[in-house]
């Protein structure tokens, strides 16, 4: 899902840069308002988690590979706007240092995975779970540990799983559409595309089928598993 340089023409990558910059500004303002200094390490660890989890390429036997993103999980833990920032930091480091995703496509990749995937995943999670649990700063840990009761209910877990599944599929869909419109937007005099050569009728089934049937499920299982791990290892992070 990391679009490389060259697959998107200037109209598409330019528009998505233009879309993502106000998103970053808005997310930064939100962070200023809601993120406590004590939660910054959790933001950093979330971004690192996302970076590392994307290294786990899941194979489609004989075909392509894909990976989870952790977008919905991170939004549930630190809130959607801090998650937008965490995912964006990860995606920018991946592009600059590891060539995973293009420089021109940073806007697109951050928009797809870091914004679309996060907001839709989190939105559906909230819709299904009904309420949300909060990430709490560790200052309360000592005084509250005994009385603490985790509110991570089955409903939360179901919401998290479905949200994660929907979030990654939306990110995949955005990617497929952006790639698929290239032949329409930029074709040379010989009728050949100047950028990504495949039409929507190829990109959408190719990208969506693998996410609907495999990578989406991987994302959902990962999200629920990590929430259960955190419930056990750091119950103070999950509170009602």
**117-156: contacts with another protein (CB under 8 A):** 137-139
CB of 84 to another protein, least distance (A): 12
Q: In this chain, which of 22, 61, 142, 146 binds another protein, going by CB under 8 A?
A: 61
Residue from 31, 74, 113, 166 that binds another protein (CB under 8 A)? 31
Location of structure tokens 């919905």: 72
Taking CB under 8 A as the criterion, the residue among 71, 75, 85, 174 binding another protein is 85
Binding of residue 198 to another protein (CB under 8 A): yes
User: Which two structure tokens, joined as six digits, stand for 18?
Assistant: 């233009």
Q: Which residues pair with 80 in a beta bridge?
A: none
Nearer to another protein, 51 or 124 (CB): 51
Residue indicated by tokens 């962070």 = 31
Backbone angles phi, psi at 60, to 5 degrees: -100, 110
Interface pick for another protein out of 63, 134, 144, 213 (rule CB under 8 A)? 63
Cβ(156)–Cβ(181) below 8 Å: no
Q: How far is the CB of 149 from another protein (least distance, A)?
A: 19
Q: Exactly one of 16, 20, 23, 42 binds another protein (CB under 8 A); which one?
A: 42
Under the binding rule (CB under 8 A), the answer on residue 212 touching another protein is: no
Q: Determine if 213 is a binding residue for another protein (CB under 8 A).
A: no
Tell whether residue 167 is a contact of another protein (CB under 8 A).
no
Buried b (16+ CB within 10 A) or exposed e, 108-128: bbbbbbbbbbbbbbbbbbbeb
**Cα angle vertex 154, ends 164, 87, to 5°?**
25
- Beta partners for residue 187, in sequence order: 193
170 scored as a contact of another protein (CB under 8 A): no
Q: Which of 148, 231, 234, 239 binds another protein (CB under 8 A)?
A: 234
Supply the Cα-derived Rg of the chain in whole angstroms: 19
Number of residues that bind another protein (CB under 8 A): 82
Give first-to-last CA distance, the chain, whole Å. Answer: 35
Specify the residue, 48 or 158, whose C-beta has the smaller distance to another protein: 48
The single residue listed with the structure tokens 């050569």 is: 197
Q: By CB under 8 A, is residue 221 in contact with another protein?
A: no
């Amino acid at each position: 899902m990391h679009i490389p340089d060259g697959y998107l023409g200037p109209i598409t990558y330019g528009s998505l840069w233009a879309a993502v910059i106000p998103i970053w500004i808005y997310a930064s303002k939100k962070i200023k308002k809601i993120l406590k200094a004590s939660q910054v390490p959790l933001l950093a660890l979330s971004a690192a988690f996302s970076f590392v989890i994307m290294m786990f390429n899941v194979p489609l036997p004989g075909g392509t590979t894909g990976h989870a993103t952790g977008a919905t999980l991170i939004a549930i833990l630190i809130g959607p706007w801090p998650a937008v920032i965490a995912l964006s930091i990860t995606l920018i480091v991946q592009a600059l240092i590891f060539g995973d995703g293009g420089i021109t496509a940073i806007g697109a990749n951050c928009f797809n995975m870091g914004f679309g995937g996060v907001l839709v995943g989190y939105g559906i999670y909230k819709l299904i779970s009904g309420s949300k649990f909060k990430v709490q700063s560790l200052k309360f840990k000592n005084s509250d540990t005994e009385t603490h009761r985790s509110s991570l209910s089955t409903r939360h877990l179901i919401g998290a799983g479905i949200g994660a599944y929907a979030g990654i599929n939306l990110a995949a869909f955005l990617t497929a559409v952006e790639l698929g419109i290239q032949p329409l937007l930029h074709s040379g005099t010989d009728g050949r595309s100047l950028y990504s050569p495949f039409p929507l009728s190829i990109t959408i089934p190719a990208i969506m089928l693998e996410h609907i049937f495999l990578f989406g499920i991987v994302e959902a299982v990962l999200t629920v598993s990590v929430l259960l791990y955190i419930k056990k290892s750091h119950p103070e992070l999950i509170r009602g």
